[in-house]
Structure formats: C-alpha cells, structure tokens
Amino acid sequence: MTAAVEPSFFPSADGDLAYLDTGSGDPVVLIHPGYVDHRAFADQIPALAAHHRVIAPDVRGHGLSANATKPFRWADDLAALLRHLGTGPAVLVGVSMGGVVATDTALEHPDLVRAVVTCGAATGDFTYTDPWTRGIQAEYARTLGAGDIEGWLTAFLRVLPGEHRDASDVDPEIARRLREMALHTISKHTPDEKDRLVPVTGSWARLPKLDVPLLALNGSLEPADMLDAAERLARAVPHGRTATIDGVGHYLNMEKPDDFNAIVLDFLRTL
C-alpha cells in the first residue's frame, strides 16, 4: 500500500470488510495469502495501478476486515464487494489462499470474472486434501491451542523458502513483513474460535466449464505436489497456461516483485 492510499470499508451482511481501491482502467483484484493482508502486495499495487484499477481486499478475518460470526464463503464475500463497487468482470490475482479464492469465485460467480492468475494454489479441493497443507494446518492448530505464538509463527514462515532452502536464504525483510501482518491477523482470533468458513467443493470436476483465461504462476521451489496441482489446473480449463519464476518459493510476488509484475502485466495485455 502506498502512503497516499487508505483502505475503505464495505458494509457486508456480517461486518465491515476492508479493501484498497486505487488506479483506473480495467479492474484487477489482488487477493492475499492466508494470515496476512493486502499489504503483501505492496510491490504490486503501484505497478499495476499505473495501468489498471486495483482492488486489494483484506479477506474476512484478516487485516482490518471483520471476523465471521456466521457461516460464509470467501467467493461470496468477494462477489459482494465487486457488486458493491459496480466492478466486473475483473481479473483476479491470488497468492496461496488468495489463489483458492480466485478460482472459487470464478467457479461460483463467473459473471464477475474476466481472467484468473493463481499462485501457490490450485483449487480448494487440493488445499483441503493435500497432506503437506494439512500437516501445516495441524501445526497451526497445535501451537495456537498451546498458546505458543512463536511456534505458530515458525510454522507459518516455514512455507516461505519452499523446498531445498531454509529461512536464512530469504531476505529477512520479507520474513519481517510477513511476521508483522500475521501477528496482526492472529491477534484478531482466539484458539477456541469456531471455523465458520464453508469450503467450495467439487471444483476439479467443474474446471472444464471455467471459460476464462487462467495463468498458474508459481515459484520453482514450491513443493512438487503443488507444482503438479498447478499443471493439472492449467490443463483442466479450456484456456489455461503455466509460468514459473526461478529460485523463489511460496511468496513469489514478495521475493521477485519485478519478475512477478512483468509476468502479470504481460498476461493482462493479452486479454
């Protein structure tokens, strides 16, 4: 987020949801990874806003957005925001959890989606069944249940370097930024809080009907299962393709922002 732009708030049916809205032109929505917020795209927002209207929400329960008090779906929250803004169809660009939100929204609300860029993610079906992801989630639950915030942060940052690297191989400023955002989000919740997220299921079977351009963009150091799932996603949709940024892991937009921005802008120019 640039210093001159402040978040706005959308009064949803279950509390206020924060979002950044800047630039002009065809709309591009940036959807952040889990436990952080729209500031994860600090290096993307000004670059994309030079050519497009950029909307960067804080997903429910993250950043400045309200926690859930009743069942909800990420896709429905995003669709409500875009309809509130009179925006769409938009290009959805999501990293990690944000990539799942992007794919889910394209499946559930196709009238609002012009194209999808998904990074470090495939579909919600993959996220909820992948053993590596489930292992990380179990570690989150164990450490939070024990009140071990430092242990939780260690587990959270473990995904940063990807395979074949450790945290010392990554710019410590990136880890600091992630840690700051994650601490802010986790402080909004309690260990015994009910998970009210309703997942979108059956996505793999519906992908052949996802008739918009889709780019699965990943860091080369993502786990092999994640890269395989991204390839499967790109093959399953009628207009899918993949791209890779070498030498980076899960938070590819933060590690190599210039490369990420160039690839996304090139993709946008094809639409």
What is the per-residue pLDDT across 192-237, written as a single tens digit (0 to 9) for each? 889 999 999 999 999 999 999 999 999 999 989 899 999 999 999 9
Residue 61 lies in a domain: yes
Q: Residue 191: what pLDDT? A: 81
Residues of the chain above pLDDT 70, percent: 96
Tell me the mean pLDDT in the region 16-27: 97
Helix/strand/coil for 161: coil
Above 50 in pLDDT, residue 119? yes
Tell me the mean pLDDT in the region 49-70: 97
Q: Residue 127: what pLDDT? A: 64
**Average pLDDT taken over every residue of the chain:** 92
Report which listed range, 48-62, 129-143, 147-161, 163-177, is most confident. 48-62
The sign of the CA dihedral 6, 9, 10, 15 is: positive
Helix ranges (H only) for 187-256 are 203-206, 224-236, 252-255
Above 60 in pLDDT, residue 19? yes
Residue 102 lies in a domain: yes
Specify the number of domains making up the chain: 1
Above 60 in pLDDT, residue 2? no
Query: Which contiguous run of DSSP H or E holds residue 182?
Result: helix 172-186
CB-neighbour burial class of residue 196 (10 A; exposed 0-12, middle 13-18, buried 19+): middle
CATH number at residue 46: 3.40.50.1820
Residue 62 lies in a domain: yes
Residue type, 83: R
Residue 199 region, left (φ>0) first, then alpha (ψ -120 to 50), else beta? beta
**Contact 109/79 with Cβ under 8 angstroms?**
yes
Above 90 in pLDDT, residue 134? no
Residue 3 lies in a domain: no
| Residue 110: both structure tokens together | 């196709």
Residue 198 lies in a domain: yes
Q: Residue 128: what pLDDT? A: 59
Strand partners, 30: 93
Tell me the mean pLDDT in the region 29-48: 97
Whole-prediction pTM value?
0.95
Tell me the mean pLDDT in the region 73-100: 96
Domain that holds residue 144: 8-269
**Contact 30/56 with Cβ under 8 angstroms?**
yes
Q: Residue 36: what pLDDT? A: 97
Residue 123 lies in a domain: yes
The model's confidence at residue 3, banded by pLDDT at 50, 70 and 90, is: very low
Strand partners, 57: 19
Locate tokens 């960067």: which residue? 56
Q: What pLDDT digit, counting tens, does each position of 148-201 carry? A: 888 888 888 988 998 889 888 999 999 999 999 999 999 999 888 899 999 999
Residue 125 lies in a domain: yes
**Contact 227/219 with Cβ under 8 angstroms?**
no
Residue 51 lies in a domain: yes
